[in-house]
Amino acid sequence: MTLQDFLMLDLPPLLAAMLAGGTCGLLGSFLVLRRESLVGDALSHAVLPGIVLGFAITGARSGLPMLAGAMVAGVAAVALIAVVQKAARLDPGAAIGAVFTTFFAIGLVLLEVTGARSVDLDLDCVLFGQLETLVWVSGREPGALFDPAALATLPRQLGLLAGVAVAVALAVAVFWRPIKLACFDPGYARAIGLPSRSIELGLALLVAAAAVAAFEAVGSILVVALLVCPAAALRLMTDRYTVQVLGGAALGAALGAAGYALAGPVPAALGLDLALNAAGVIGTLGGLVVAVAALVRPLRQDRPPAPAPA
Amino acid sequence: MIAYNTLVVLSGCALLGIAAGTVGTFALLRGRVLVSDAVGHAALPGVAVAALIVALLGADPRALPPLLAGAAIAGLLGVLAVQALTRTKRIREDAAIAVVLSAFYAAGVALLSWLQTLPGAAQAGLSKFILGQAAAMRAEDALIATTVAALCLALVLLSFQRLRSVAFDADFARVQGLRTDRTDLLLLGLIVLVCVSGLQAVGLILVVALLVLPAATARLVTHRLPRMLAVAAATGGLAGASGAWLSALHPEVPTGAAVVLVAACLFTLALLLAPERGLLARAWQIAGRRLSADTEHFLRAAWEAQEAAGAGPGTAGDRWAPIGAVAAARGWSLGKARRLAFWLAQRGLVARAEDHVHLTPRGATLARRAVRAHRAVEHHLLAAGAADAAAADRLADLVEHGLPPGMAARLLPEPSALPASPHALGARR
């Protein structure tokens, strides 16, 4: 593998996978701690009609309309879940299941109806992701990394991912304490006057943004893997909030990098004729990490407690 | 004339919907519907591995039974994985479901991409299991799905009593000596069977909707389990058949999406129009309650306006009261008071003339009853020292409605008489 190959073919997907993994891993901890993992699942499906509409209306696959459409769809889904849950007196899981499948189905139909004009927003992207198609045409030499003109030709998905990643990181840093309270003791957070509804809605918006940015990289369904797997694995390994949240982000980024590497470049470097879907490998690794964490846990617990000082 | 193949596929989808609605009802009542989401997604690697094995053995990789068997095994593994993760006590069921469904699905995606690189056609058509494609079903495939769905229905009917007792009060059932863990296992098995039989028609992503939506629709419509099962089965059957029909007419729309959208429309209809729980029915109920409260308030204000104008307590009722005074007493706008006066005149409770109202005999009876109820509550609150006169007035406004006359009499010191108001009458303070 030459350096040029790496810059052109491997760097953009690697960056995209790491950015998507880091962003989703960061937000995933909040979902898991707030027992809203399925909201993440629901949002990642429910943003589909928004993405398709945003794309269909502008006719261009630029980031912002799709992002806006996805946010609208995400908020609508969250609101609708609340309405259905209350009006039909369903348990939250059932309300989520009823709403997100409907949104996803609408998205699929819209995709077909508007499909005539979309060459590159297709079902395969939704179902499998398309990390492999991210290519940096100008990345012929290392100097291009510092050349603004060449950098401008980086795949625009990377720009969207980076923007969302920065926004999410900023929001989490600024609202660190309120979010922490809202995760651990929503009742207390309300009692001391924190706007817990706004925090809830803000988290949902961030998740929707992360879902839409990561959607193009790993596909609509595997966003769930990036949201939940790192957070669940950390949940099994640590009790410390900071470790949980930041570790989730780090683990997500690591999963993205390792998954992409294992899917193509590493087997290729070893001379194996094996090319797997990168998103699939990333998600599988995520599941394996959770499984290993779950298996290792009892071993750690079985250690005898340290003898008390005499 | 419908072709034989289409007919078989349609009836297969209908029966699938019926089975899904029935099983989904129990899953919903037991709070387990989203397990089917994990089962559905987990089926993908099972299908892929089964296709690989079949292709290696040299058989036709498109034969349905081995694929469905693989899906069932993977689905069961998925359920077991969810339970194992939940047993760590660290990961709750919702997170466990999300982890399992995404990881299994990802493994399936990776396997599919690997199969694609192999010689032979092991992966041919496997991706249609993801979103469902009833149009591509052959009659014999539909017959297999139909058989599985029928098996589910038979199992539900056979174990109806057990499922019912677990669905409503699992703890009580356990205390009664029922093996609820076995029943739960049976329910999980049924969920897996339904998901697997629905793979080809609806696809693994949306099969959860076929379990949730009909059951949720039925829950809106009725409280009784037999009726709920019937409604869920009918909804599911209708959604399955018409979804398959729609996607046969428009092959570019995935069958799964069509089925789910039909089911979602039925659910929305039920959400709006269900007789008791529907949004419209409840809005109607609330509006009716508000109108009857306003009616009582109007009549009482008209009565008290006459008392304020000099009629002794208990003798008001034969004078004209200005609508403006009623509005001022209630803090209403004049327009609202006029509209209410018009409505009460239509019902024959007041006569109207020149912006005044006069209680009819029937209106006077109702007004007297409302005044008694109001003063009874006020008197009770004051006697108990629970409030001062103004607060008692306001509290009584809230609780007096629907107070039976007998109860009002028991709250009053002198049951036969209409006591004087404990506070000055007139415009709102």
Radius of gyration (C-alpha) of chain A in whole angstroms: 20
Position A307 pLDDT exceeds 70: no
Residue A204 located in a structural domain: yes
Q: Per the CB < 8 Å rule, is B106 touching A284?
A: yes
Confidence of residue A43 (pLDDT cuts 50, 70, 90): confident
Q: How many folded domains does chain A comprise?
A: 1
CATH of the domain at A130: 1.10.3470.10
| DSSP string over B360-371 | -HHHHHHHHHHH
Q: In this complex, is the C-beta atom of A49 within 8 Å of any C-beta atom belonging to chain B? A: no
How much is the average pLDDT of B414-427?
Answer: 74
| B262 CB within 8 Å of a chain A CB | no
pLDDT tens digits along A112-133: 777 644 555 667 777 777 777 7
What per-residue confidence (pLDDT) applies to A116? 44
Query: Is the Cβ–Cβ distance between B35 and B82 less than 8 Å?
Result: yes
Q: How confident is the model at residue B23 (pLDDT cuts 50, 70, 90)?
A: very high
pLDDT 10s digits, B44-76: 999 989 988 888 887 776 778 888 899 999 999
pLDDT band per the 50, 70, 90 thresholds, residue A267: confident
Cβ distance A284 to B34 less than 8 Å, yes or no, reads: no
CB of A37 less than 8 A from some CB of B: yes
Put simply, whether B28 touches A (Cβ < 8 Å) is: yes
Share of chain B above pLDDT 90, in %: 25
Q: What is the CA radius of gyration of chain B?
A: 33
Pick the CATH number of B4-275 from 3.30.230.10, 1.10.3470.10, 2.170.120.12, 1.20.1600.10: 1.10.3470.10
Interchain proximity B28–A221, CB inside 8 Å:
no
Encode pLDDT of B260-281 as tens digits: 999 999 999 999 988 888 889 8
Q: What is the pLDDT of residue A287?
A: 93
Confidence of residue B428 (pLDDT cuts 50, 70, 90): low
pLDDT tens-digit readout, A194-228: 887 788 888 888 888 888 888 777 787 778 899 99
Q: Mind listing the pLDDT tens digit for each residue in B107-146? A: 998 888 888 777 665 556 777 788 877 777 778 778 888 8
Tell me which fold the domain B281-427 belongs to.
Arc Repressor Mutant, subunit A (1.10.10)
Each residue of B230-242: b (16+ CB within 10 Å) or e? bbbbbbbbbbbbb
Question: Is A49 a domain residue?
Answer: yes
Contact map slice: B 267-306 vs A, CB within 8 A: 267, 271, 277, 279, 282
User: What is residue A308's predicted lDDT score, i.e. its pLDDT?
Assistant: 53
Residue A88: its chain B contacts at CB < 8 A?
216, 219-220, 271, 277
CB neighbours of residue B348 within 10 Å: 11
Domain with A23, as residue range(s), is 3-221
pTM: 0.83
B318/chain A closest Cα distance in angstroms: 46
Residue A292 within any structural domain of the chain: no
pLDDT of residue A289 exceeding 60, the answer is yes
- For chain B, the structural domain boundaries read 4-275, 281-427
Q: Identify whether A93 is part of a domain.
A: yes
Is ipTM strictly over 0.90? no
CA–CA separation, B23 vs B212, rounded Å?
10
Residue A298 to chain B, least CA–CA distance (Å): 9
Q: What is the pLDDT of residue B1?
A: 47
Give B159's contacts (C-beta < 8 A, 6+ positions apart).
B183, B186
Query: CB neighbours of B73 closer than 8 A, spacing ≥ 6?
Result: B46
3-state secondary structure of B359: strand
DSSP one-letter code for A9? I
Across residues B213-234, what is the average pLDDT? 92
In a domain, A189, yes or no: yes
Name the residue with tokens 């052959």: B138
> Residue A287 and residue B107: Cβ atoms within 8 Å?
yes
User: How would residue B43 be classed by pLDDT, with cut points 50, 70 and 90?
Assistant: very high
Residue A112 lies in a domain: yes
- Tens-digit pLDDT profile for residues B313-361: 666 777 888 888 888 888 888 889 999 999 999 988 888 888 888 888 8
Chain A contact set for B28 (CB, 8 A):
90, 94
pLDDT in the model for residue B175: 87
Residue B303's nearest CA partner among B320, B283, B314, B317 is B317
**How do B356-359 and B350-353 pair as beta strands?**
antiparallel
Q: Judge whether A231 is closer than 8 Å to chain B, CB to CB.
A: yes
User: Which residues contact residue B102 at a Cβ distance below 8 angstroms, ignoring those fewer than 6 apart?
Assistant: A41, A221, A222, A224, A225, A228, A229, A283, A286, A287, B41
Which of 235-254 (A) contact B at CB < 8 A?
235-236
For B103, which of A102, A219, A283 is closest by C-beta distance? A283
CA-CA-CA-CA dihedral for B287, B293, B296, B299, to nearest 10 = -60
Could you tell me if residue A36 is inside a domain?
A: yes
pLDDT of B357-377, one tens digit each? 888 888 888 888 888 888 888
Min CA distance, A276 vs chain B (Å)?
5
